[in-house]
Amino acid sequence: MILKGRYYQGFMANVCSTIRGYFVMKTIMIRKSRNLSEKKRRDQFNSLVNELNRMLSTANKKMDKSTVLKTTINYLKNQKVLRSRVHEIDNDWKPSFLLNEEFTHIILEALDGFIIVFTSLGKILHASETITALLGYLPKNLINLSIFKIINEADHSMLRDLILESKHSQTLENDKIVFSCHCKRHDLLKDSEEINEKNKFELVQFFGYFQNSSEIFHGNNNGILSPCSSEEDDQNLVFVGIGRIMTPQLLKELPVLEDVKIEFTSRHSLEWKFLFLDHRGPSIIGYMPFEVLGTSGYEYYHIDDLEDVILSHQALMLKGEGTSCYYRFLTKGQQWIWLQSRYYISYHQWNSKPEFIVCHHQVINYLNVIKREGTDLGRKKNKKRLWHIPSNGIQQDTSESDYDSFHKRHYEQQMPQSPQMVS
């Protein structure tokens, strides 16, 4: 038994020694593996620091690691500040109360200019809203359209040569490019035969630069630039610039492209002279109340809309209430703004005689004007504007059938004098 017990104790000691040796070897292997990993990370870190040192050092002078890291951090901080200010305009010449977008819009209006972006293949990627008042194009209709479709054919070769020359230039972003070409004027409210040939093209001066881009951009339905893969490598050359109309635009339309309810109220005499303008009017039409009081409303209407406006006012005098057609009103800034008015006659409470006319005016979205005015078949045939256009923003108090009956009765009286008019 004693021998057996000693043999068992020796066996257990050997087992414990073997297990202890296994764990010691395992610990040593883990430590070696950890040391190798740490050495690899240190070597990689040192390599990156040396690379940063070569990039930051200006006089082949080796800096210590802490200096390299501090210099890199300062550089990244400066880049972050510059990126945050890239879209900011210097406050030294921009009023602090204006947003960047508002200030840019004002500058473009003062220059009679618009922003345009197109590729070397001529595909338009972006156009600012100011192009609508200057050339008559809606920005969303220009997206993906070729620039060569809106400029005169005589200028095509000049623009192609300019693009080809810019492709071989090595300093694209530093080379400011200035060129002029004749752009076709577009009027969505007129037929092509109504546009005078003399006024069909406008001389536009473009100034900007060509920029290489690693990503190709194209316009989506909203007119927003978004990156995408391209099938043609030539499109990575993009022109970014401003087009300026060389002929002064004394009177321009002010198209409202947003669905925002903008309205104001006025009162007129029976001779249609201003008696009152509420506080919302000056911010829309530009005139203060004292500037329009006593003046005739007809002084501010577009000559092409006068006939329809007069007839609608005659209908108002017969019915006592009504809703006007779309018409243009001249603002103080010499711009035409589209309005629609709902009005009624106010009577004296004692003798029931008409005293004045109350008008509620609403600014009309330019897209609605184009949709209703530019595609109406009767207006195209008779050269007359659409009479009664219901609007979602203006409630219609008068019966459409009564209004149309007056319209029909008015033209039936003119039928013997105009036998060629198509009814």
pLDDT at 48: 84
Domain total in the chain: 3
DSSP-derived letter for residue 92 is T
pLDDT at 70: 84
CATH number for the domain that contains residue 156 = 3.30.450.20
**Residue 59 pLDDT grade (very low, low, confident, very high; cuts 50, 70, 90):** low
**Residue 190 pLDDT grade (very low, low, confident, very high; cuts 50, 70, 90):** low
**Residue 177 pLDDT grade (very low, low, confident, very high; cuts 50, 70, 90):** confident
Rounded to 5 degrees, φ, ψ at 344 are -150, 160
**Do 59 and 115 belong to one domain?**
no
Kindly report, residue by residue over 230-286, the tens digit of the pLDDT.
444 455 788 888 898 888 766 666 666 565 678 899 999 999 999 999 999 988 898
Please name the residues in contact with 250: beta carbons below 8 A apart, sequence gap of 6 or more. Answer: 334
**Do 131 and 68 belong to one domain?**
no
**Do 117 and 170 belong to one domain?**
yes
**Do 408 and 269 belong to one domain?**
yes
Query: The dihedral of CA 208, 253, 276, 390: what is its sign?
Result: negative
In a domain, 95, yes or no: no
**Residue 224 pLDDT grade (very low, low, confident, very high; cuts 50, 70, 90):** very low
Query: The dihedral of CA 302, 304, 305, 308: what is its sign?
Result: positive
| Residue 342 falls in which region: left (phi positive, over 0), alpha (psi -120 to 50) or beta | beta
Q: Tell me which residue of 182, 146, 185, 177 sits closest to 161, measured CA to CA.
A: 177
**Do 175 and 301 belong to one domain?**
no
Mean pLDDT over residues 179-196, rounded?
A: 68
Confidence check: pLDDT of 17 > 90: no
**Do 115 and 79 belong to one domain?**
no
How many H helices and E strands in the chain? 12, 14
How far is the C-alpha of 244 from the C-alpha of 131, rounded, in Å? 10
**pTM more than 0.75:** no
In a domain, 93, yes or no: no
Confidence check: pLDDT of 314 > 50: yes
**Residue 173 pLDDT grade (very low, low, confident, very high; cuts 50, 70, 90):** low
| Strand intervals (E) in 28-176 | 113-119, 124-127
**Do 271 and 245 belong to one domain?**
no
In a domain, 423, yes or no: no
CATH number for the domain that contains residue 29 = 4.10.280.10
In a domain, 92, yes or no: no
CA distances from 341 to 192, 318, 357, 372 (A): 30, 17, 12, 16
Q: Which range is most confident: 90-99, 158-167, 321-330?
A: 321-330
**Do 276 and 239 belong to one domain?**
no
Mean pLDDT over residues 178-191, rounded?
A: 77
Confidence check: pLDDT of 30 > 70: yes
In a domain, 329, yes or no: yes
Sequence-separated contacts (24+) of 293-301 with Cβ below 8 Å: 296/271, 296/272, 297/268, 297/272, 297/273, 298/272, 300/329, 300/330, 301/327, 301/328, 301/329, 301/330
**Do 119 and 69 belong to one domain?**
no
SS (H, E, C) 325-345: CCEEEECCCCEEEEEEEEEEE
Rounded mean pLDDT of the chain?
Answer: 74
Mean pLDDT over residues 95-102, rounded?
A: 70
In a domain, 106, yes or no: yes
Domain of 160 in residue numbering reads as 100-249
DSSP 267-319: EE-TT-BEEEE-TTHHHHH---HHHHTTSBGGGGB-GGGHHHHHHHHHHHHHH
Q: Which range is most confident: 157-161, 170-174, 386-390, 408-412?
A: 157-161
In a domain, 388, yes or no: yes
How far is the C-alpha of 104 from the C-alpha of 90, rounded, in Å? 12
Domain boundary among 84, 118, 143: 84
**Do 321 and 366 belong to one domain?**
yes
